[in-house]
Structure 1
């Protein structure tokens, strides 16, 4: 399928707008918030993050998690498990 330059520019603009909207809505969660989202105990979340089983990052001594990364991770792993 061949696209005109205008159609390609419009598609790119739409995709950029979608990503920008997602990034603006993507909330950074603290450990208790991530635990509540996943309905797990905070120590379980901490242990999983320490082992690299959950996507997260350290901010000082505290874990932080992107809501979208957690939800994507759960949807990917639950699809196969």
Structure 2
């Protein structure tokens, strides 16, 4: 199965050092930049779809609440 890169180079440049710092601080584990990028690719591949779908669900919930508020405002304006 071919590797699918889900994160841009800019995202990798930002996230890899953060992941390295987290692993160092929390687990005392020192990993290099290549390993951090490899782990990020793995995590994005395995969890990216679920995180994306959850974000869409949250957006849909927020939009529905906003629409309900707008509908109530329109009903108040009706004569």
- The structure richer in strand per residue is 1
- Greater Rg over alpha carbons, structure: 2
- The structure richer in helix per residue is 2
Is the shorter-chain TM-score for this pair beyond 0.5, marking a shared fold? no
TM-score norm. by structure 1 comes to 0.33
